[in-house]
Amino acid sequence: MRWSPNRVLAVVVGALLLVVLAVVSLTVGRGVTTYDITEPEGVAQAYLQAAFDGDFDEAATFFEPESDCDATDLDRAFLQNDVRISLAGVDTDDERATVRITADIPDGGPFGGYYEERHTLRLVRVDEDWKLTGIPWPLYDCTTPNP
């Protein structure tokens, strides 16, 4: 059987369409993983989600009770739009945990690039819950402003 140029072209185009459909189906179906709120990574995720959604009162509920940070600190913080945050790792023991994240932040350039920052969120166990301690990113300062 002889293959005409049109038949070869149709087979090549059909194969390319199958490859494109396979790639799209593998990437579109990926959603955001939701971590258990009873685990350090779940608390970090819920805090960051609330902070970047602008729900600073909710975000502040994840601070340990003795924290110098509160919702007003988040009010003053600069939160970049379109930040992509990924979980890089978690270390935990009975009373303390560290959650390492990678933040891809828009660089503001004409080609829509990103630069990477790495941050560590520290948590302590308060009763049965995990709470953020210290000054958790995206905060860099938690002080009460002078009136």
Per-residue model confidence as pLDDT tens digits over 16-40:
655 555 554 444 445 778 999 999 9
Over range 83-102, report the average pLDDT. 95
Amino acid at 35: Y
Most confident of 7-11, 74-78, 98-102: 98-102
Dihedral angle of Cα 34, 37, 38, 43, to the nearest 10 degrees: 110
Dihedral sign, CA of 58, 49, 52, 143? positive
C-alpha torsion sign, points 64, 69, 72, 73: negative
Quick one: average pLDDT of 99-108?
93
Measured CA to CA, the distance from residue 125 to residue 123 in angstroms comes to 7
- Which pLDDT score, from 0 to 100, does residue 30 have? 53
**Mean of per-residue pLDDT scores for the chain:** 85
- At 11, the pLDDT band (50, 70, 90 cuts) reads low
**Which residue bears the tokens 């023991």?**
93
Residue 119 tokens read as 């941050």
Residues 36-64 have a mean pLDDT of 96
119 sits in which H/E element: strand 114-126
> At 66, which amino acid appears?
E
**Structure confidence at residue 48 as a pLDDT band (50, 70, 90):** very high
CATH 3.10.450.50 fits 40-133, yes or no: yes
pLDDT per position as a tens digit, 34-43: 999 999 999 9
As a whole number of angstroms, the longest Cα–Cα distance in the chain is 88
How much of the chain exceeds pLDDT 70, in percent? 78
- At 109 the pLDDT is 87
> Which of 40, 52, 38, 146 minimizes the C-alpha distance to 88?
40
Label residue 60 by pLDDT band (50, 70, 90): very high
- pLDDT score recorded for residue 32: 77
